[in-house]
Amino acid sequence: MKLVIDSIEQMQLLGKKIGEQLKTGDVVVLTGELGSGKTVLTQGIASKFGFKDITSPTFVISRIHKGIPNLVHIDAYRLLDLGSNSFSDLDLESYLSTSVFVIEWGADFVTTLTDEYLEIKIEMGERDNHRVVEILGSGDRWAGFKV
C-alpha cells in the first residue's frame, strides 16, 4: 500500500492510525532518508499510547517509554556499520512480550527480533513536506493490514 503525505500533521495522523492497530509484541520498522519523517511518524504512533515529547534516540540508540504497553523506540543508524550482533547485544528481546517496538533504520536487524513486522518506507517527495509512504507487512500478523 502506498500513500502520499503532504504535511507533518498528516504524517502524525498516519502514525496515530497505525498506532491504533498495534498491540504488545508488534514491531514496526521505519526506513527513509534523514529528515524523511520517521520520528514524526513515531510521534503519531506514540500519541496513541499517551506518550508525548518523542524525539529521535539517535545518540542513545534506544529509549523505552514505560507504559502498558511500553514503547521501545530505537534508532539503529549507528549500528549499521557494526553488524547484526551489535543489535542483538542490546538485549531488546526481553522487552518484546511487554512492548511495541518502533525501529528506525531497522531493516537489517528486525529479523533478530521477529519474522513478523510492519515495514514502512518513506521517500522524500518533490516538495518540502511531500512524502510517499509504502507500508508492507511481513508474516501472518500483518496480512491484509490497512490504514
Evaluate whether residue 116 is within a structural domain: no
- In this predicted model, what pLDDT tens digit does every residue of 36-56 receive, in sequence order? 999 999 999 999 999 998 988
The reported pLDDT for the residue numbered 93 is: 81
Evaluate whether residue 124 is within a structural domain: no
Evaluate whether residue 76 is within a structural domain: yes
The reported pLDDT for the residue numbered 84 is: 54
Cell numbers for 16: 496515530
Query: Does residue 137 surpass a pLDDT of 90?
Result: yes
> At 37, which CATH number?
3.40.50.300
Evaluate whether residue 53 is within a structural domain: yes
Q: How many domains does the chain have?
A: 1
The pLDDT > 90 percentage for the chain reads 66
Mean pLDDT of 116-121: 97
Name beta bridge partners: 59: none
Angle, helices 38-48/8-19, rounded to nearest 10 degrees = 50
Evaluate whether residue 142 is within a structural domain: no
C-alpha 51/C-alpha 127 separation (Å) is: 30
- In this predicted model, what pLDDT tens digit does every residue of 65-101 receive, in sequence order? 999 999 999 888 776 665 555 656 666 788 899 999 9
Evaluate whether residue 126 is within a structural domain: no
Domain residues for the domain of 103 are: 2-110
Evaluate whether residue 11 is within a structural domain: yes
Pairwise pLDDT comparison (69 vs 126), residue with the higher score: 69
Evaluate whether residue 84 is within a structural domain: yes
Q: How many CB atoms lie within 10 A of CB 7?
A: 13
Dihedral over Cα of 20, 137, 119, 125: its sign: negative
The reported pLDDT for the residue numbered 89 is: 60
Pairwise pLDDT comparison (109 vs 16), residue with the higher score: 16
